[in-house]
Chains A and B, each alone.
Chain A
Amino acid sequence: MGDVFEFVMPSLGADMERGVLVEWLVTVGQHVDRGDLVAVVETDKGAIEVEIWTPGTVAELVVPEGSDVPVGTVLARLSGASATADPAPSAPPAADAPPAEPSPEPAPTPVVAVPPHSGRASPWARHLAAERGVDLTGVVGTGPGGAIVGADVPQARTKPVAAGTDADAMRRAVARAMERSKREIPHYYLGTEVDLTPTLAWLERRNAAVPPPQRVLPAVLFLAAAARAVREVPQVNGFWKDGRLEVSEAVHLGVAISLRGGGLVAPAVRDADRLDLGGLMAALDDLVRRARRGRLRGSEMTDATLTTTSMGDRGVSDIQGVIYPPQVAIVGFGRVVERPWIVDGAILPRSVVRVTLAGDHRAHDGHTGGLYLSAVANLLTNPESLA
């Protein structure tokens, strides 16, 4: 028999001070395992599905649905909690609400294959289904034990809904994080240009050989290169904590995603350095869809060890990022542009991308950042190594 464990309102980012407990995904008496989704929390950045990292049995739901409470408030108590629990997302934060401490070891990926709807659905899911006129038969549940949760309920086809975020609140959340970053982090900036012409030709050949669902975007090459370059220069991947750099062994790559109507989130692709291009594309596709529907998971919001930001095909060619604390670097990819380029002594039109790094000068120096950017450039010009 283990101890009683208190599950508290987690800090789902450097800027979060409070949250609304929208929905319980568990009931009293239910057993939960590491990584189970237990609650939906509404934050300035939308509704987040929160996992628990301590196994046990739910003894008490302290806070009723709809409660707006500060970070650190006890939400539920578990009995028989395991002593091997990962305290990361549930550690009570200090009064000024610093970001959740990153996990000392990677938490399991919360995405699991589950069978189609077997009859269990949360009250919130049933409410949404009724509101949208959706039949839950055949819906695949991603909640505990395959239960259908709110996020699984399909949108009504003719009644689009808002993404569940308040633009003003999100603006304030971004403002708090960026103020903290620029107040605390002495940034240094580096950049380099990479001729992507052969790489894009390689990608075109690769994509031509597979059907549309298996194709990957150039942006995925950027993510792959950013993640794998960490193996060569690990100092850019981690956190500045207690006056020192804490390098992370896992590479959870934050991806800055802009939301229509304004706002920005940077959820993490977990273990991005271990995914092949197809796996990264699937992960990015999934993250973008859920981010724009306001349905990200708690671990995705707190686990990033290094963040990337990409201007895509409609942006500008150069971006200087602002580090998301307590991370120590952010990698930027500008829009790919046609540029005159010298190849074997001749000036030729080439597809060029500018890759930048903003680094935390407390954690490392420009030399280290330069080595990292060189590693990214080398990987981008050898796409076979990323496949």
Chain B
Amino acid sequence: MTRTEMEARVRELLVDLAPEFEADAIDPDEDLRQQLDIDSMDLHQLATSLFEVYGVDIPESERADLVTLRAIVDWLDAHVSR
């Protein structure tokens, strides 16, 4: 899986959480909480989806830093085995 494919999948998961938004319109560098108005339940659902899709478990200690699309994709790029 390429990084581009990974980013597209994360965009899909985010739009699944916030159907009011277009996948292509998500700014990779803007804080997702402000950009999509998502809360702790949304972030829990995203972490669960990433676990189910990629089999990865983002440590609680690192989650505070993963608040942009780019940060999430960077983390996946470094941790998902291909």
Chain A interface residues toward B at CB < 8 A: 155, 157-158, 160-163, 204, 207-208, 211-213, 215, 217, 219, 260-261, 284-285, 288-289, 292-293, 312-314
Cβ–Cβ contact B39 & A313, under 8 A: yes
Q: B60–A312 contact, CB under 8 A?
A: no
In the complex, are the beta carbons of B19 and A217 less than 8 A apart? no
Interface contact A260-B41, CB-CB below 8 Å: no
Closest to B39 in A: A312
Contact residues of A: prevailing secondary structure: loop
Cβ–Cβ contact B37 & A260, under 8 A: yes
CB-CB under 8 A for A163 and B19, given A215-B44, A217-B44: yes
Apart from A160-B20, A208-B60, A312-B39, what 14 extra A-B contacts exist at CB < 8 Å?
A: A158-B23, A163-B20, A212-B50, A213-B48, A213-B52, A261-B20, A284-B41, A285-B45, A288-B41, A292-B18, A292-B19, A313-B39, A313-B40, A314-B33
Q: Nearest A residue to B34 by beta-carbon distance?
A: A314
A284 and B51 alpha carbons, distance in the complex (Å): 19
- Scoring B residues 50 to 77 as 1 if CB is less than 8 Å from chain A, else 0, what string do you get? 1110000100100000000000000000
Determine the distance from Cα of A313 to Cα of B51 in the docked complex, in whole angstroms. Answer: 23
Chain B residues whose C-beta falls within 8 Å of the C-beta of A312 in the assembled complex: 39-41
7 A-B residue pairs with Cβ-Cβ distance under 8 Å, sorted by A, are A157-B12, A157-B15, A160-B23, A211-B51, A212-B57, A285-B44, A288-B41
Q: Decide: B20 and A162 in contact? CB cutoff 8 A.
A: yes
Residue of A with least CB distance to B41 = A288
In the bound complex, how far is the Cα of B52 from the Cα of A312, in angstroms?
Answer: 25
Residue on B nearest A214 in the bound complex, by CB: B48
| Contact A217 B12, CB 8 Å, known A162-B20, A260-B18, A293-B19 | no
Which residue from chain A places its CB closest to the CB of B22 in the assembled complex?
A: A160
- CA separation between A213 and B12, bound complex, in Å? 19
The docked-state distance in angstroms from the alpha carbon of A288 to that of B48 is 15
Contacts of A162 on B, CB cut-off 8 Å?
A: 19-20
Bound complex: CA of A312 vs CA of B33, how far in Å? Answer: 12
Q: Is the interface of B mostly helix, strand, loop or mixed?
A: helix
In the complex, are the beta carbons of A160 and B19 less than 8 A apart?
A: yes
B40 x A160 contact (CB < 8 A): no
- CB of A314 within 8 A of CB of B39, answer yes
- B residues touching A (Cβ–Cβ < 8 Å)? 12, 15-16, 18-23, 33, 36-37, 39-41, 44-45, 47-48, 50-52, 57, 60
Cα A155 to Cα B22 with chains together (Å): 13
C-alpha gap A152/B14 in the complex (Å): 19
User: Which of B20, B45, B57 has its CB near the most chain A CB atoms (within 10 A)?
Assistant: B20
Q: In the complex, what's the smallest C-beta–C-beta distance from B66 to chain A, in angstroms? A: 14
**Nearest A residue (CB) for B50:** A212
Bound Cα distance from A313 to B45, whole angstroms: 15
With the chains together, A185 CA to B47 CA distance in Å? 42
State the CA gap A261–B37 with chains docked (Å). 9
Given A157-B12, A312-B40, also A211-B19 (CB < 8 A): no
B57 interface neighbour in A211, A288, A289, A314, Cβ under 8 Å: A211
CA distance A213 to B46 in the complex (A): 10
- In the complex, the chain A residue whose C-beta lies closest to that of B45 is A285
Taking CB as reference atom, which chain A residue is nearest B25? Answer: A160
Measured in the bound complex, the distance between the Cα atoms of B43 and A314 in whole Å is 13
Residues of B within 8 A of A260 (CB): 18, 20, 36-37
Which residues from B are CB-within-8-Å of A207?
60
Taking a contact as CB atoms under 8 Å apart, the answer to whether A212 and B48 are in contact is yes
Q: Once the chains are docked, how many angstroms separate the CA of A155 from the CA of B44?
A: 21
User: Which residues on B sit within 8 Å (CB–CB) of A314?
Assistant: 33, 39
User: Considering the chains assembled together, what is the distance between the CA atoms of A285 and B23 in angstroms?
Assistant: 22
A160-B51 in contact (CB<8A): no
Interchain CA distance A291-B48 in the complex, whole Å: 19
